[in-house]
């Protein structure tokens, strides 16, 4: 089987069912980074695993149709900017001052609930987005670089 | 419809993962976050999940899957495990790859059938060829070189796969 056509029917069908599950599990790991083990990098790498599963199961041809370099590049930059923005929120006191937790309107719930821990959930989401888009872009770039087969 | 199928599928996993955030149930913020994240994931994967994935939203099918997993599949696995244990102890094996003709129509049916065959020890699906309507199965004890139906290899699995994947 060539890499254009991807893998067999069973792999493809199983990938269809599991890719949303991997995606939502990664989102769970990212969004609960301040409550349970895991966080931005781990969850982002998990979601990138879904993208890599798509790339391997369906082949580079399908991935090429759905992957947009501009979008992924912009999202990666956005993740970095959101992290920086969350870090600058408390700049009146200090860089990385967790003002959302101390007196902010949001994310200052009881510790242990989802909306707690100040800027940590925002930063986890930002890192997750950055890691996901970065890893998928890297894998697509590696898959696209194939002087070997020619 | 494909969006809804992906949405429900991911929301179920989210609810399983976050159960217990308020007593044994879910707190409001977890539910809201689950709906948001599921919508994002479903939007991203709506083209991936397949043309006709929404047919699996039918609750009758879920009951069918549960009955299949607890009944025929589990019983088939128990029997096959004892059979393989017997073959490990006595060493009476006759391995080979056989072509099993099956009468299935779509990808989901082939997947359920192949995974059921692989889950029962002693048989292992090598390849599924929908264009020639056959599975290639590696069998630990070949009793029939060219089986006419999947009955000898897989028992009742083909009937179930046809029903569940329809």
pLDDT in tens, A31-53: 998 888 888 899 999 999 999 99
When pLDDT is averaged across residues A87-106 and rounded to a whole number, the result is 82
Of A9, A20, A25, nearest to B45 by CB-CB distance is A20
pLDDT band at A79 (very low <50, low <70, confident <90, very high): very high
Per residue of chain B (166 residues), give pLDDT as tens.
788 888 998 999 999 988 887 878 888 888 898 999 999 999 988 888 877 888 888 888 889 889 988 988 898 889 888 988 998 899 888 888 988 888 888 888 888 888 888 888 888 888 888 888 888 889 888 888 888 777 777 778 888 888 887 8
Q: Is A20 in contact with B37 (Cβ distance < 8 A)?
A: no
For the stretch A1-5, contacts whose Cβ atoms lie closer than 8 Å and that sit 24 or more positions apart, written own/partner, are A2/A59, A3/A59, A3/A60, A3/A61, A3/A143, A3/A146, A3/A149, A4/A59, A4/A60, A4/A61, A5/A59, A5/A61
- What's residue B153's pLDDT? 79
Q: Is A21 in contact with B9 (Cβ distance < 8 A)?
A: yes
pLDDT in tens, B97-108: 988 888 888 888
Would you kindly state where each structural domain of chain B is located, as residue ranges? 1-55, 58-165
What dihedral do alpha carbons B127, B131, B134, B137 form, nearest 10°? -10
pLDDT of A149 over the 80 cut: no
- What's residue A1's pLDDT? 41
Q: Is A20 in contact with B111 (Cβ distance < 8 A)?
A: no
A20 within 8 A of A108, measured Cβ to Cβ: no
- What's residue A41's pLDDT? 92
Q: How far is A101 from chain B (nearest CA, A)?
A: 17
pLDDT band at A148 (very low <50, low <70, confident <90, very high): low
- What's residue B20's pLDDT? 80
pLDDT of A2 over the 60 cut: no
pLDDT of A109 over the 50 cut: yes
Collect all residues of chain B within an 8 Å Cβ-Cβ radius of residue A17. 9, 49
d(CA B118, CA A144): 34
């Amino acid at each position: 089987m060539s890499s254009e056509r991807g893998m067999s029917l069973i792999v493809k069908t199983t990938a269809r069912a599991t890719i949303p599950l991997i995606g939502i599990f990664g989102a769970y790991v990212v969004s609960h980074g301040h409550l349970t083990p895991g966080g931005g990098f781990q969850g982002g790498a998990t979601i990138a695993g879904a993208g890599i599963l798509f790339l391997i199961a369906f082949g580079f041809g399908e991935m090429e149709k759905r992957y947009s370099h501009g979008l992924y590049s912009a999202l990666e930059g956005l993740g970095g900017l959101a992290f920086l923005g969350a870090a600058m929120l408390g700049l009146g006191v200090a860089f990385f001052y967790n003002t959302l937790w101390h007196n902010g309107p949001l994310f200052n719930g009881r510790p242990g609930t989802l909306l707690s821990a100040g800027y940590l959930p925002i930063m986890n989401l930002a890192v997750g987005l950055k890691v996901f888009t970065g890893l998928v872009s890297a894998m697509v770039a590696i898959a696209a670089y194939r002087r070997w087969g020619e | 419809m494909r969006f809804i199928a992906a949405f429900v599928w991911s929301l179920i996993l989210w609810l399983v993962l976050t159960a217990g955030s308020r007593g044994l149930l879910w707190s409001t913020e977890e539910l809201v976050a689950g709906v948001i994240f599921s919508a994002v994931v479903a939007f991203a994967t709506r083209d991936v999940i397949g043309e006709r994935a929404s047919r699996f939203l039918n609750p009758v099918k879920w009951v069918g899957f549960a009955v299949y997993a607890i009944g025929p599949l589990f019983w088939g696995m128990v029997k096959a495990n004892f059979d393989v244990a017997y073959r490990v102890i006595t060493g009476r094996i006759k391995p080979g790859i056989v072509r099993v003709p099956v009468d299935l129509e779509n990808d989901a049916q082939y997947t359920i059938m192949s995974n059921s065959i692989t889950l029962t020890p002693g048989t292992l699906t090598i390849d599924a060829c929908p264009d020639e309507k056959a599975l290639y199965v590696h069998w630990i004890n070949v009793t029939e070189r060219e089986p006419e139906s999947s009955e000898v290899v897989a028992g009742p699995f083909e009937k179930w796969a046809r029903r569940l994947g329809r």
